[in-house]
Structure 1
Amino acid sequence: MSEPHYFGTGELSEFLRMPPWERAVPRTVVLPGLRPPAPPALHWTDGEQARWERAWMHDDEEPGDGWQAEIDRVFAAREAHGEQVPWLLAAAPFELVEPYGHVLNSIDFGGRGLSTLRRVLARFGDKAVTVMVRAAQRDPDNASVLLPVDGTAATFVMARLLRGYRTQRDGLAWFARHIGTAAPDLVAAAVDAPQRQRTLAWTTLDTLSRVGHREAIHCTAAEFGADVLAAVETRLRPRQSA
C-alpha cells in the first residue's frame, strides 16, 4: 500500500492556508431598488414566429358546424365554455379569432399544452405576452414558451428552472439567448433587500458564471458601480481546481 500524501502549506489554496478566524468576511452589499422591473417583451429570431404559428396540435380540425359557428357559440357564453377559448384562439383561422384578442388576459391557460401556448403567442404577439408569463410561472413544463420573451418576470421564471434537473436545459437555453437583459435583473436582485430573491439571484449568477456568462455578469456589475462589482467578484470567484 502506498504511503499517504500529506499536503504542505505551499500546496494549499490561500483560502485553506488561512485559519477561519483570520478570513475576511465579505461585506454584504444591499442596494434596494437598483433597477426597476423590466416589462416582458418579445424578440423573435428569423422564422421562429412562423414556425410557432404552425406548431403541431392534435385537435385543430374544423368542427362539424364550421369555425364561425363554434366561435359564436363559445363566445356567446364564454363563462360556460371557457375551457374551449384557448383552443379556439390557437386552432381557428386567425382572421376569425383576432377580434377576441382582448380576452387573453382573462383566460386561464393552465393545463394547456405547449403547442397551444406557442400558437397563441405567435398569433397574438404582444397582446399575449403577459398571460404567457403567468402560465409559465404556474407550470414549469410550459416555461419554454418564454424562449422569445425577456423581462424581469421571465428572468426569474427561468432562474427557477435552473434548479430542476428536468427543466435546467430550457433555462440554460433561455439565458444563452437573453443574458444581455437577464444579467441586470439578476445582479440588481442579488444586492436588493428581499432575502429570498437575493438567494435565488446569487445561485443563478453562480450557475451562469460557470457556463460561459462570467464576463457578461461582471460587465453588468461594473455598470452598477464599484460596490456591486466588488460584491460579484467576491461571491463568484472561480473555483480552485482539484
Structure 2
Amino acid sequence: MLEVVSSAQNPEDYRRSVLNVDHGPFVLALISEYIARPILRDFQVPGTVHSPCIFQRILGRFGTDALDAVVATMARHPLRMATVMAPVDGSRVAVLMMRCLGLPRTNRAAVTWWLRHADTAVQDLIPIALGRQGRDRMLAEQALRTVAQTGHRGAVDVAATGYGEQARTAISAMLDADPTLSLPHRIPQLPTWLVPGLLPPIALRDGRAVLPDSAVENFCTMLAMCRPGWQYAGVRIVADIVDPTTLAEFAWGLYEAWMLADCPNSGQWVLHAQGLVGNKDTARQLCEQILKGRWRIGESSRAALDAITAIGGDEAVAQLRAIVSASSANGMVRKARHRIRELTEPDSAL
C-alpha cells in the first residue's frame, strides 16, 4: 500500500494499484488531496473496516467531501464505525445513530452522539416516532426517551412543536407514558414446545415465593418480544425483583426446551434471552455448546456469541478466548476475537 501512496500520480494510478477494496481507505488517508478527492466521489465501501481511526483521518483531511463515503461505510459497518461519527451531524447519521442506540455494542457511542447533537438531530426522529408501527418507530421512541431523560427534554419539545401542535401533543404523551406500554406491532404467540410449568422456577429476591405459571408465561412473552436492538421495558422490571441465579437457570431451561424441539428458527429469541438475563454460568454453558459444534457459522452461532458478549465480565472474556483456542471453525474464531476486542477494548471495537 505504501508503494501506491508514493507512486500514484493520478486517480487512475490509484484504481489500477488498489486491487483490494478493503485497502482503499488506508491509501485515501495518505495520498495527496488532488488524487484523493475525485476518488471519494466514487468511493467503494470496504467489506471490512480494519481500523476505524483511518476514517477519522479521512474525515479530518477532507471534511464534507468525505461525508458520503464515511456515512456509507457506517451504514454497512455500524459496530466499527459508531465512534467515528461523533463529530458528524445530519439526517442520515441521525437515523443510523438511532439504530445504534438500540444495539448493546454501540449503545455507549450512540448515547454520546445524541447528547452532543440533541439540539439539531432530534427533529429527524419526530416523523419516525409518529410513523407506522415497526422497529424503526420503536427505536425512534427509545432514542427520544433517552435524549429527554438526559437533560434535553426541551430540545425534543421544540422539535416536535415544529411539526405542529398535534405532533407536539403526541410526542409529549409518548414521553410521559409508562414505557411498558411501548409494545411491538405484533405480540408473539408462544410456541407449543414451551410449557411454563416445566421450566425451572423463578424465585423472588427474598426467596419466599416463586413466580406462578401465569406470570412465567407472561415473562416468556416479554422475552419473545425482545430483539437485538430493542428490549421490552418489562424484562428489566421483572429482573429487578427476582433472584438473578434462578432467573439465569430459568433462561437456560428455555434454551434446553428449544433444543429439544430441534431449535426452530422462530425460537431464536431464546438465545437472545440468554444475554439479557444470563450469568457467568450461562456464558460457560454457551461456550460448551459452541465447542461441541452445536451450530455452524450462522444466525444461531452469532446469537450465541452475542449472548456471551452481552453477559460481559471476565468470565465472558475467558469463554470467548476458549472458543478462539479450541474451535476449528475459522469464522467462529474470527467472530469470537472480535467480541473479545469489544469487551476488552470497547472504544476501538465499536
Counterparts of residues 31-46 of structure 1 (less than 5 Å): none
Task: State the alpha-carbon separation in 2 of the partners of residues 90 and 164 from structure 1.
Answer: 29
Task: State the alpha-carbon separation in 2 of the partners of residues 194 and 237 from structure 1.
Answer: 19
The Cα shift of 1:110 comes to 3.9
Which of 32, 35, 45 pairs up with 1:99? 35
The Cα shift of 1:134 comes to 1.1
Task: State the alpha-carbon separation in 2 of the partners of residues 76 and 109 from structure 1.
Answer: 14
- Superposed CA deviations along residues 9-65 of structure 1, whole A, max 9, x for unmatched, are xxxxxxxxxxxxxxxxxxxxxxxxxxxxxxxxxxxxxxxxxxxxxxxxxxxxx94x6
1:121 paired with 2:59, answer yes
Query: Contact 1:74/1:85 (CA < 8 Å) preserved in 2?
Result: no
Which of 84, 98, 121 pairs up with 1:159? 98
What code does the residue aligned with 1:103 have? Answer: I
Would the alpha carbon gap of residues 215 and 132 (structure 1) be closer, same or farther in structure 2, given more than 3 Å must change? same
Query: Contact 1:78/1:85 (CA < 8 Å) preserved in 2?
Result: no
Counterparts of residues 1-242 of structure 1 (less than 5 Å): 63=2, 67-69=5-7, 75=14, 77-78=16-17, 80-92=19-31, 96-104=32-40, 105-112=42-49, 113-140=51-78, 141-193=80-132, 195-237=134-176
TM-score normalised by L of structure 2: 0.45
Task: Say which is worse superposed, 111-120 or 69-78, in terms of deviation.
Answer: 69-78
Task: State the alpha-carbon separation in 2 of the partners of residues 158 and 83 from structure 1.
Answer: 24
Query: Contact 2:128/2:137 (CA < 8 Å) preserved in 1?
Result: yes
CA RMSD of aligned residues (A): 2.8
Task: State the alpha-carbon separation in 2 of the partners of residues 71 and 107 from structure 1.
Answer: 20
What code does the residue aligned with 1:115 have? Answer: C
What stretches of structure 1 of length at least 5 have no aligned partner? Answer: 1-61
Query: Contact 1:186/1:205 (CA < 8 Å) preserved in 2?
Result: yes
What stretches of structure 2 of length at least 5 have no aligned partner? Answer: 180-350
Would the alpha carbon gap of residues 127 and 109 (structure 1) be closer, same or farther in structure 2, given more than 3 Å must change? farther
The Cα shift of 1:154 comes to 0.3
Higher helix share: 2
- Superposed CA deviations along residues 178-199 of structure 1, whole A, max 9, x for unmatched, are 1122111011222234744322
Percent identity reads: 27
Q: Which has the higher contact order (CA 8 A, sep 6+)?
A: 1
Query: Contact 2:122/2:156 (CA < 8 Å) preserved in 1?
Result: yes
Task: State the alpha-carbon separation in 1 of the partners of residues 69 and 44 from structure 2.
Answer: 8
Aligned pair count reads: 176
Query: Contact 2:45/2:72 (CA < 8 Å) preserved in 1?
Result: no
Task: State the alpha-carbon separation in 2 of the partners of residues 153 and 221 from structure 1.
Answer: 19
Which position in structure 2 is the counterpart of 1:25?
A: none
Q: Which runs of 4+ in 1 moved over 6 A?
A: none
The Cα shift of 1:80 comes to 3.0
TM-score normalised by L of structure 1: 0.63
What code does the residue aligned with 1:128 have? Answer: A
